[in-house]
């Protein structure tokens, strides 16, 4: 081999890669926030499961298997590449990787494993070529870049086979006992197999093919390395650290804007206005996007023809970032420092508001914050936090949002609920029931957080009444706040009004602490998520239990005994804020299975792949963005396809959205009930009429 040529090749290509990587690193570090690197064992387990084990790729079986074949094949063949780099300087097997040289036990085993993975990689390449050229799924970005990379991988595998085949022929001809035949080597099956048709060629031709296999493999590895920083395949480098660094907080937790009053006084930006405010983990997200489209494939807004596409937002932000890289890193300024808002010499576009320069307001407000995009992403990219942060800037800095949300903000601020209901209506749901109030009750074990919808919405009041009756039947010592209860602020926060959220949260925490609250039970997943995952950031630490978990516990303890049959075929609809955000899937189903006569069936889209009802992300309080369908209508159709007579939920907003879809549905729609209402029918207690 030619040591000078190998040295020159390595110096040139690795220097070029180092310069490209340095540019990407400088761009990464413009991020304005830090990501904590803590809980290392948990992060390592997550990385092994999601990045190395590629857990989420199995959700698309064919593509998942193909990607796993190529991924693990590259890990195995990386050793071969290192061996070939070393052999560029010497053929001495004692140099560098002698343990893996042919003939040694470990070398023989590696050679066999390598050949197996070459076959798997070639199969994976053919699968992806079929997907890109024949199937052409709408979710994927189909570009010549993807085909180019597949071609590079395919040729690299053939070059490796050619190198082994040439080596097998040359070894047979130089062996002392050579007979002219090339024996089949069980440890190198591909090389032996492809050596047979080469046996008739002269030595010169064999050596040429052998060298060609060597240099094609080496050059393509280095070419591919230098393509990475300029393509979507940068995820080959960034995916593992991105998964390792993803937040370990509950998925439903939004980070608060700390020192909100101070930021207002200092006139600091509230939310995300510019690309450099994404934070370095946010920029790493952009580097890592594979453009697979799994996020958009499961986005309820995208599936119903809305302008929103999580993939498109990520790609647009990444393209904008790359377009203005020099200005952002200072490469285009005389001082070498990154341009700031006050830098008159810097190009203005890189300092433009992301909304609407990169992301349209219509796309931004179409998000239901359901988390389906993040659940599907195989490389740990977050979307909801970026969308909410852009909403925060629009609402708190520019005062811009859909008109119904302005009315909702005013209602929450003035009336303590998003429905503009006066305070005296807060307890109408309890008329005719034995409902203790904290202000008059003695010592209690559980505080029942009713929530605005079950307290005020005419249909949802039946859920609160059923829950109160079940608590009384079970003999639980409980009470509710009554007129002292206020909106948790969830809707305001998801709409971007962080100031209003924190004001509501602090007022509620003061009330809860005044009663020494320890355990809270609520029927609303939105209240549950906010009280459990977000109030602790503001000092509100409580044990928060959703009524699905609490009812399942009461049944297991024998305090509630469902005896009367409820003969019905039931399909359960998973709430996004209960399921994807808080991993509560089993307990509502356990409650339904405990009821005699209930036949529980599953929709095709269920559990962590259940489709959003369309209420989340403050959609329940505004008009849905234009599209081909309404989200709740599509979800209702999925549930109707099970032929169930009853649709059960554990969320008043889901029940409201599905009921609304039923009103516009021409077919015979199934009945919609909360799990507490169905359980109450079986308990035998008098069902309280909705009031």
* Digit-coded pLDDT (tens) for 28-71: 998 777 777 889 999 999 999 999 999 999 889 999 999 999 99
Question: How, if at all, do strands 478-479 and 446-449 pair?
Answer: parallel
pLDDT of residue 176: 47
Q: Is 420 left (phi over 0), alpha (psi -120 to 50) or beta?
A: left
Chain-centre distance for alpha carbon 614: 18
CA dist 639 and 314 (Å) reads 31
10 and 120 in one domain? yes
- pLDDT tens readout for residues 6-21: 999 999 999 999 999 9
Kind and range of the H or E run holding 606? none
DSSP for 473-535, please give it: HTT--EEB-GGG----SHHHHHTT-HHHHHHHHHHHHHHHHHTT--EEEES-HHHHHIIIIIG
Contact 404, 619 (CB under 8 A): no
Contact 402, 622 (CB under 8 A): yes
Please give the residue that has the higher pLDDT: either 642 or 103: 642
- pLDDT tens readout for residues 125-150: 999 999 999 999 888 888 888 899 99
Residue 665 has pLDDT above 80, yes or no: no
Query: How many CB atoms are closer than 10 A to CB 564?
Result: 11
pLDDT of residue 690: 42
- pLDDT tens readout for residues 512-541: 999 999 999 999 999 999 999 999 999 999
Kind and range of the H or E run holding 355? helix 354-357
Question: CA neighbours within 13 Å on the CB side: how many for 418?
Answer: 26
pLDDT of residue 526: 97
Given 555, 590, 625, the domain boundary residue is 555
522 and 429 in one domain? yes
SS3 446: strand
Rounded to a whole number of angstroms, the CA Rg of the chain reads 31
pLDDT of residue 345: 42
| Residue 499 maps to a domain | yes
| Residue 586 maps to a domain | yes
514 and 472 in one domain? yes
Residue 646: strand pairing partners: 570, 671
SS3 630: coil
CA angle (237, 241, 242) in 5-degree steps: 100
Average pLDDT over residues 361-370: 96
| Residue 98 maps to a domain | yes
504 and 390 in one domain? no
- pLDDT tens readout for residues 72-107: 999 999 999 998 898 888 766 545 455 666 677 888
Average pLDDT over residues 413-425: 93
| CATH number of the domain to which 384 belongs | 1.10.1060
- pLDDT tens readout for residues 647-659: 999 999 999 999 9
pLDDT of residue 668: 65
CA dist 463 and 139 (Å) reads 39
377 and 424 in one domain? no
512 and 478 in one domain? yes
Given 230, 252, 287, the domain boundary residue is 230
641 and 620 in one domain? yes
Kind and range of the H or E run holding 93? none
pLDDT of residue 180: 58
| CATH number of the domain to which 539 belongs | 3.40.50
Burial of 507 (C-beta count, 10 Å sphere; 0-12/13-18/19+): middle
| Residue 53 maps to a domain | yes
Average pLDDT over residues 288-314: 95
Burial of 371 (C-beta count, 10 Å sphere; 0-12/13-18/19+): buried
565 and 530 in one domain? no
What residues make up the domain containing 383? 260-310+317-403
- pLDDT tens readout for residues 428-441: 999 999 999 999 98
Chain-centre distance for alpha carbon 140: 17
pLDDT of residue 107: 83
> Model pTM greater than 0.75?
yes
Residue 278: strand pairing partners: none
pLDDT of residue 627: 93
Given 403, 424, 455, the domain boundary residue is 403
Residue 256 has pLDDT above 50, yes or no: yes
Residue 562's pLDDT band (boundaries 50, 70, 90)? very high
Eight-state DSSP code of residue 368? -
pLDDT of residue 97: 56
CA dist 503 and 488 (Å) reads 10
Average pLDDT, the chain: 91
pLDDT of residue 583: 96
Give percent of the chain with pLDDT exceeding 70: 93
| Residue 250 maps to a domain | no
pLDDT of residue 350: 67
364 and 282 in one domain? yes
472 and 398 in one domain? no
CA distances from 451 to 64, 83, 236, 441, 482 (A): 42, 65, 46, 19, 10
| Residue 50 maps to a domain | yes
- pLDDT tens readout for residues 266-278: 888 899 999 999 9
- pLDDT tens readout for residues 165-213: 998 888 887 764 455 577 788 889 998 899 888 888 888 899 999 999 9
Output the 3-class SS for 264-328.
HHCCCCCCCCCHHHCCHHHHHHHHHCCCCCHHHHHCHHHHCCCCCCHHHHHHHHHHHHHHCHHHH
| Residue 525 maps to a domain | yes
- pLDDT tens readout for residues 564-619: 999 999 999 999 999 999 999 999 999 999 999 999 999 999 999 999 999 999 99
Domain count, the chain: 4
Average pLDDT over residues 343-368: 81
pLDDT of residue 346: 44
| Residue 251 maps to a domain | no
Structure-block tokens of residue 534: 């977000």
207 and 108 in one domain? yes
142 and 13 in one domain? yes
At residue 545, φ and ψ (nearest 5 deg) are -125, 130
Query: How many CB atoms are closer than 10 A to CB 96?
Result: 16
């Amino acid at each position: 081999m030619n040591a000078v040529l190998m040295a020159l090749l390595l110096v040139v290509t690795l220097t070029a890669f180092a310069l490209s990587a340095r540019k990407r690193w400088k761009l990464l570090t413009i991020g304005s926030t830090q990501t904590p690197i803590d809980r290392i064992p948990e992060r390592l387990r997550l990385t092994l499961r999601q990045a190395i084990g590629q857990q989420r790729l199995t959700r698309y079986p064919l593509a998942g298997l193909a990607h796993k074949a190529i991924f693990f094949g590259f890990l195995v063949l990386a050793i071969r590449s290192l061996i070939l780099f070393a052999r560029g300087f010497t053929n001495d097997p004692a140099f560098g990787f002698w343990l893996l040289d042919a003939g040694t036990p470990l070398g023989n085993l590696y050679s066999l494993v390598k050949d197996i993975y070459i076959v798997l990689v070639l199969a994976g390449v053919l699968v992806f070529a079929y997907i890109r050229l024949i199937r052409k799924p709408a979710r994927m970005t189909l570009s010549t870049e993807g085909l180019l990379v597949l071609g590079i991988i395919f040729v690299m595998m053939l070059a490796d086979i050619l190198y082994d085949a040439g080596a097998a022929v040359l070894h047979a001809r130089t062996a002392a006992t050579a007979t002219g035949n090339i024996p089949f080597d069980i440890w190198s099956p591909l090389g032996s197999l492809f050596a047979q048709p080469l046996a008739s060629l002269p030595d010169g031709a064999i050596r040429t093919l052998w060298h060609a296999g060597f240099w094609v493999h080496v050059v393509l590895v280095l070419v591919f390395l230098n393509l990475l920083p300029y393509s979507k395949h940068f995820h080959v480098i960034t995916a593992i650290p991105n998964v390792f660094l993803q937040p370990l907080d509950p998925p439903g937790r939004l980070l608060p804007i700390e020192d909100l009053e101070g930021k207002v006084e200092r006139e600091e930006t509230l939310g995300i206005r510019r690309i450099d405010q994404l934070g370095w983990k946010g920029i790493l997200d952009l580097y890592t996007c594979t453009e697979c489209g799994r996020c958009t494939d499961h986005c309820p807004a995208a599936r119903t023809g809305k302008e929103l596409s999580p993939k498109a937002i990520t790609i647009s932000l990444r393209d904008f970032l790359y377009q203005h890289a020099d200005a952002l890193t200072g490469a285009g300024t005389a001082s070498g420092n990154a341009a700031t808002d006050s830098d008159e010499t810097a190009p203005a576009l890189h300092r433009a508001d992301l909304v609407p320069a990169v992301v349209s307001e219509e796309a931004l407000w179409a998000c239901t914050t359901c988390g389906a995009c993040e659940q599907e992403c195989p490389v740990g990219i977050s979307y909801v936090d970026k969308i909410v942060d852009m909403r925060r800037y629009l609402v708190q800095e520019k005062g811009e949002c859909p008109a119904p949300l302005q009315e909702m903000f005013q209602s929450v601020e003035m009336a303590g609920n998003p429905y503009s209901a006066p305070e005296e209506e807060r307890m109408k749901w309890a008329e005719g029931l034995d409902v203790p109030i904290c202000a008059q009750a003695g010592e209690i074990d559980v505080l029942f957080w009713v929530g605005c919808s079950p307290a005020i919405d005419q249909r949802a009041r039946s859920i609160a009444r059923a829950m109160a009756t079940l608590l009384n039947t079970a003999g639980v010592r409980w009470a509710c706040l009554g007129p002292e209860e206020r909106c948790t602020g969830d809707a305001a926060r998801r709409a971007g009004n962080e100031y209003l959220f924190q004001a509501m949260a602090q007022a509620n925490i003061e009330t809860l602490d005044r009663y020494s609250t320890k355990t809270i039970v609520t029927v609303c997943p939105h209240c549950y998520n906010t009280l459990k995952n977000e109030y602790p950031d503001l000092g509100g630490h409580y044990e928060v239990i959703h009524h699905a978990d609490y009812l399942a516990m009461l049944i297991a303890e024998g305090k509630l005994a469902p005896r009367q049959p409820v003969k019905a075929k039931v399909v359960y609809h998973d709430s996004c804020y209960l399921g994807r955000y808080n991993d509560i899937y089993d307990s509502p189903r356990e409650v339904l299975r405990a009821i005699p006569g209930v036949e529980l069936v599953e929709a095709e889209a269920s559990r962590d792949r259940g489709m959003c009802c369309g209420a989340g992300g403050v959609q329940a309080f505004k008009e849905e963005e234009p599209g081909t369908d309404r989200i709740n209508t599509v979800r209702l159709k999925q549930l109707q396809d099970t032929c169930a007579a009853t649709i059960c939920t554990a969320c008043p907003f889901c029940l409201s959205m599905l009921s609304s879809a039923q009103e516009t549905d021409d077919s015979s729609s199934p009945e919609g009930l909360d799990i507490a209402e169905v359980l109450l029918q079986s308990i035998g207690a008098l069902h309280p009429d909705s009031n």
